[in-house]
Amino acid sequence: MRDRRFLTLIVIALAVVLTSACTPPDPTALTTPTINPLDSEEALSANLEVFSPGTGAEATAIEALAGLVQRRNPEIDVVLVMPEAGDLRTRQSSGQPPDIWLTRIGREFIGSQVATGQVEPLNALYEQTGLNQVFSPDVMKWLGDNTDIYSLPVAIHRANLLWYNPKVLAAAGVSGPPATLLRFPDVLEELRAAGVADPLVLGERSTVVQLFESMLVAHLGPRAYAGLWTGETDWQSEEVVMALDDFAVIMNYTNSDAIALNWQQAAQRVAAGGSAFFIAGDWVKGLYDEMGLVEGEDYDWTTAPGTAASFVYQADGFVQSSLAPHLHNAPVWMETAASPAGQAAFSRALNALPAIENVSRDQLNDFQQASLDDWERATRVGSMAYGLVINRAWRAAIGQAIDQFQANRDIESMHNNLVQACREYGPCE
């Protein structure tokens, strides 16, 4: 393994951070926990290591939060651990994890990082600062087991969005994106007839699973969809069969090179006009903004066809390593991440919703405010595609069933594989 190389954070005067830093003190902000006194050995390394992907919106969000932590606590040196010092899994497996990292919360997290003892319980932090009262119950239930809490959520993502190129639609004579699942294949056919070979672009497996999830939500509705993961909804019901049939039809209008594309490349194909549609979460907004695209002109978005009544969500949270050497400083990061200022800065960089409910609406951008309106109006349902509601093995089995369908186009076989996956890894008998 290469020598560990850490890049010390240079405090960048990001606009989003300055906005938070210059506002008057928020009376709802949490009190900073007392940091444990450093002994002589700890004083030699009074820092805090936080893993960062190094690029993209997530890295920007972590940098924004790190800047806020550093300004509030100048005695602590916040160190962002970049991938060149070893990817996160490599460092975890070698027994040298960073102190803190960002992860997707939910059953997959609980069944992997929690079950293997990689992360530290945060019960004391929650009890001392009253965090139980500031997070939505729809988030709190995915943070740990029946005894302990293991994550501090910082962003709620909406997954069921349809991104599209309005110029491609206009050139094909299509008036707008389809609002219903019934209209979706007709619009795709119109686009293909107008010369758009692959009207709906797909990328790596997660994007195909996301499309399938949208088909299920559209046909079953949010409550029955949620029942697929608890045993309350039958995987052999008529609605599931109809969703599979529509999925098979829609797949006829997708690109054959999906496996070779990551989600960013798939989204870029829509921006370039090669495809008209892409179903993915709010993270696409950050990519398009980085590309300098103009919303309403170069791209636009709406809910995935037939899912307007549903808010399909997943969430990100910070965790503390159970093995890292600087956990005496970790509460400082967690307290800042839980504060309204920290949540606003972090979520704004991701175009996601803050996880706490007491962030002022005027601290959110227009896209976030539209998401907040839907979060409050629509029925909230956890996402299977990103491991919130199911364990890793079940999600992998669903992905494999979809992979096989892409290869053989046998929808009945895919259905059988899905039923079997529920029997092996879920509640089905």
State pLDDT tens for residues 370-411: 999 999 999 999 999 999 999 999 999 999 999 999 999 999
Residue 44 reports pLDDT greater than 80 = no
Q: Which two tokens stand for residue 163?
A: 């991104």
Average pLDDT over residues 154-162: 98
The C-alpha atoms of residue 336 and residue 188 are separated, in whole angstroms, by 46
Note the pLDDT of residue 85. 65
pLDDT of 286-304, one tens digit each? 999 999 999 999 999 999 9
Residue 16 banded pLDDT, cuts 50, 70, 90:
very low
Lowest-confidence region among 23-32, 136-145, 353-362: 23-32
Identify residue 30 by its one-letter amino acid code.
L
Radius of gyration of the chain (CA): 22
pLDDT at 323 over 60: yes
- pLDDT band at residue 15, thresholds of 50, 70 and 90? very low
Kindly compute the dihedral angle of the four CA atoms of residues 301, 303, 308, 312, in this order, to the nearest 10 degrees: -130
Res. 89 pLDDT band, cuts 50 70 90: confident
Is residue 31 pLDDT above 70, yes or no?
no
Higher-confidence residue of 2 and 249: namely 249
Identify the pLDDT of residue 46: 59
**pLDDT tens-digit readout, 177-205:** 999 999 999 999 999 999 999 999 999 99
Band (pLDDT 50/70/90 cuts) for residue 132 is confident
- Report the Cα–Cα distance between both ends of the chain, in Å, rounded: 45
Q: Indicate if the pLDDT at residue 129 is higher than 80.
A: yes
- 158 or 25: which leads in pLDDT: 158
What's the whole-number mean pLDDT along residues 40-48? Answer: 54
For the cut 70, the answer to whether the pLDDT of residue 9 exceeds it is: no
Q: Tell me if 63 sits within 8 A of 52, measured CB to CB.
A: yes
Helix (H, G, I), strand (E, B) or coil at 282: coil
Mean pLDDT of 136-140: 92
Place of tokens 């924004």: 64
Ranges of CATH 3.40.190.10 domains, the chain: 7-157+315-380, 161-312+383-425
Strands (E), 274-370: 277-280, 300-303, 310-320
Percentage of residues of the chain with pLDDT beyond 70: 89
Q: Which residue has the higher pLDDT, 15 or 384?
A: 384
Tell me which CATH code domain 161-312+383-425 carries: 3.40.190.10
Q: For 226-250, what is the mean pLDDT?
A: 98
For the domain bounded by 7-157+315-380, which CATH number is listed? 3.40.190.10
Q: Give the residue from 127, 21, 120, 133 showing the smallest Cα distance to 69.
A: 21
Give residue 94's pLDDT band: very low, low, confident or very high (50, 70, 90): confident
User: Which pLDDT band, with edges at 50, 70 and 90, does 62 fall under?
Assistant: very high
To the nearest 10°, the Cα dihedral for 185, 186, 187, 191? 100
- Is pLDDT at 356 greater than 90 in this prediction? yes
Give the pLDDT confidence score for residue 82 in this predicted structure: 87
Name the more confident of 13 and 116: 116
Mean pLDDT over each residue of the chain, to the nearest integer: 89
The per-residue pLDDT for range 204-215, each reduced to its tens digit, is: 999 999 999 999
Mean pLDDT, rounded, for 170-181: 97
Q: Using H for helix, E for strand and C for coil, what is the string for 179-238?
A: CCCCCHHHHHHHHHHCCCCCCECCCCHHHHHHHHHHHHHHHHHHHHHHHCCCCCCCCCCH
11-20, 60-69, 127-136, 234-243, range with the lowest pLDDT: 11-20
